[in-house]
Chains A and B, each alone.
Chain A
Amino acid sequence: MLSDRTALLIIRAWTEQDSPEPLRANIRLTTDVTTGFQRSLTLARPDGIKAEVDAWLHEIQTN
C-alpha cells in the first residue's frame, strides 16, 4: 500500500515527426499522491525534462 508520502512522477513521451524538435514529454508530478498531481507541463527538450526530474527528486529529499 502506498504511504502518505509517496511521490509520483509520470512522463508521457511521443514524437511529432517533421518537427525540428520532435520530442514531446508531458510530465505530471506530485510529492504526495494523497494530494493528487501538483503540476502538469509539457516539454520538448531532454535537458529541460531532466531538470524537472532533478528538481522533483530534490524536493522529495528536502521536504
Chain B
Amino acid sequence: MNEPDPRAGSGFADVASIGRSSSTSPYPGDPGWRSPATVGGGFEVCVLGTFRFRWGTETLMAEAGGSQRLLALLALRDRAVMRGAVAGTLWPESSEHHAHSNLRSALSRLSELSRDAVLVTPLDLCLVERVKVDIRESRALAHRLLDPEASVSEADLGPAAISVLADDLLPDWYDDWVLLEAEEWRQLRLHALEALADRLTLHRRFGVATAAALAAVRIEPLRESARATAIRVHRAEGNPSEALREFDRYRTVLQAELGLEPTTALRDLIADLQDR
C-alpha cells in the first residue's frame, strides 16, 4: 500500500533529505542513523519568537497544529505533566473524553523523529531531559540578573544577554495557557533588562547599559521605570542632554496617549539638570 511519506515536505529542512544528503540520518533503522545524543546537536524547542523545533542545526518541518502545541506546552513545563492536565489545557472546550482522544491523536501524529523528544507514560508526558528549550535558559538568565546575590558571567552582561531577553513568547498564539505564560515572561524580562542596565552602569559599560534600558522602553513605552533606568544611565555616563531628551520623549508620549504628566519621582531625576 502506497502511503504518503510523513517525512516528505517542503519549506524547512525536509527530514527525509537530512537522511539522504548527509552521512547521518535522524531515523532509527536507516544506515546512517545516530542518536541525537551521539550526534551532539540534539533537539531544541524554541518558543521565543516563532515556534521552531530543531534537531542539531536543522529546523525540522513544522509538526501538525496539535502536535506543535503539545511540544510547546511541554517545553513551558519543565517537569512531567499528567495526561489529563495536558489534554484539558490544550483542548479546554472539549469534553474530557474528546480531549484525551485529541491528545492520543496528537501523539500519534508526531513524526518518528519528534517521538524521540517526548517521554510518554500511561500517566504523564514530558520532553526528554536532553531536549534544549530556549526559554528555560532565558528565564535562568533573567533570574540571575534580578538576584543581587547571584554570580553573573561576562556573557550575562554582554549584548547577547539583551538578545536573549528581547523576544516575546509565541507572539502569534492566542491559547489561554500561552497568553498567561507570555505575560509572565514579559514582566520577567522587563525587570531583568532594567536590572541589567543598572548592573552595567555600575560597571561603567554605558553602551550596553543604554541598549538594555532602551530595549525595556521599546517593550513598554509607557512604563516609567524603564524610562527612569535610561535616564540614570545617561546621567552616569555624563550626558545630561541625553537624559533630558529621554525625559522629554516620555513626557510627549504620556501626554499624547493618556493626557498625563510624568510622576514627581521621575521629574526629580532631572530637576537639577533643568535648573542649569
Contacts and interface: CB of A to CB of B under 8 A. Distances in A.
Interface residues of B, number: 20
B85 interface: no
Contact of B260 (A8, A17, A20): A20
A24 B220 CA distance: 11
Given A1-B91, A2-B174, A43-B258, A24 B222 contact: yes
Contacts of A43: 258
Nearest to A2: B174
B224 interface: yes
SS of B interface (majority): loop
Contact of B263 (A1, A8, A16, A26): A16
A3 B223 CA distance: 34
Contacts of A42: 222, 257-258
Contacts of B223: 14
Interface string A21-63: 1001010000001001000011110000000000000000000
Interface of A: 1-2, 6, 8, 10, 12, 14, 16-21, 24, 26, 33, 36, 41-44
6 contacts: A8-B174, A14-B223, A19-B224, A21-B260, A36-B172, A44-B260
